Amino acid sequence: MAKPVNLPDYSPCSCCPPIHAFSRRHFLRGLMASGLLAGFPSMDNSPVLKNLFQAQALVLSCIDFRFLNYQRSFLNEQNLDQAYDWVALAGASLALTGFPHPAEAETFWDQLALSKQLHNINRVIIFDHQDCGAYAKVHAQPFGDRQAEENFHAGYLHQAEAQIRERYPDLIVELYFVDLTGQVKVIASLA
């Protein structure tokens, strides 16, 4: 007779009754306990399981909702098939400088380390965008034109790239600038 599995209760909101949560971790443990995965020498070393949970990239973007659909469309055009982890911080590349607080940079580095460890990413994609409110805090004067604004962002994107390459030389870093119409422009790498 099989033992019943006790699942933790989870409520999606305060007005809904609790439901039993069943994570992939519990699922894989159950498979292991039942012997269905007994043919695998180790769950940690199994290429099959690693591929199940492998993301292709970590995406860093600004929190600005106006650009999310543009960015998702671009990522789909790059055939990433939603196989990416996503971190959104105000200012995107600007956050790596510790703006508006050092906690933003720390958050990014923690998430990057976890994404690499848990999902075996091989690249980081950074999206900055036009008309960014976070950038307006560090550049009080309006930009003369789109190119001047893009060049200003490129400086911070390159700083972010250099920091990532210093800590993770094995990762590919891609830099992009998105304008208000959704056009995504590649910012050339310094490497």
pLDDT tens for 52-61 read: 678 999 999 9
Please give the distance of CA 56 from its chain centroid, rounded to a whole number: 10
Amino acid (one-letter) located at 118: L
Per-residue burial over 88-111, b = 16 or more CB atoms within 10 Å of its CB, e = otherwise:
bbbbbbbbbbebeeeebbeebeeb
- Report the 10 Å Cβ neighbour count for 5: 11
Measure the CA–CA gap between 80 and 84, rounded to whole angstroms: 7
User: What's the residue count for the chain?
Assistant: 191
Which DSSP symbol is given to 65? G
Confidence category of residue 15, pLDDT binned at 50, 70, 90: low
- Spatial contact of 137 and 100, defined as CB atoms under 8 Å apart: yes
Amino acid (one-letter) located at 155: G
54-187 belongs to which homologous superfamily? Carbonic anhydrase (3.40.1050.10)
- Spatial contact of 62 and 134, defined as CB atoms under 8 Å apart: yes
Q: Rg for the chain (alpha carbons), in Å?
A: 21
Report pLDDT for 181: 97
Report pLDDT for 156: 97
Which DSSP symbol is given to 71? H
Residues of the chain with CATH 3.40.1050.10: 54-187
Under DSSP, is residue 23 helix (H, G, I), strand (E, B) or coil? coil
The pTM for the full model equals 0.74
Measure the CA–CA gap between 164 and 32, rounded to whole angstroms: 37
Report pLDDT for 190: 85
2-6, 81-85, 122-126, 133-137: least confidently modelled range: 2-6
Whole-number Cα distances in Å, 28 to 32, 35, 38, 74, 108: 6, 11, 11, 33, 29
Measure the CA–CA gap between 59 and 92, rounded to whole angstroms: 10
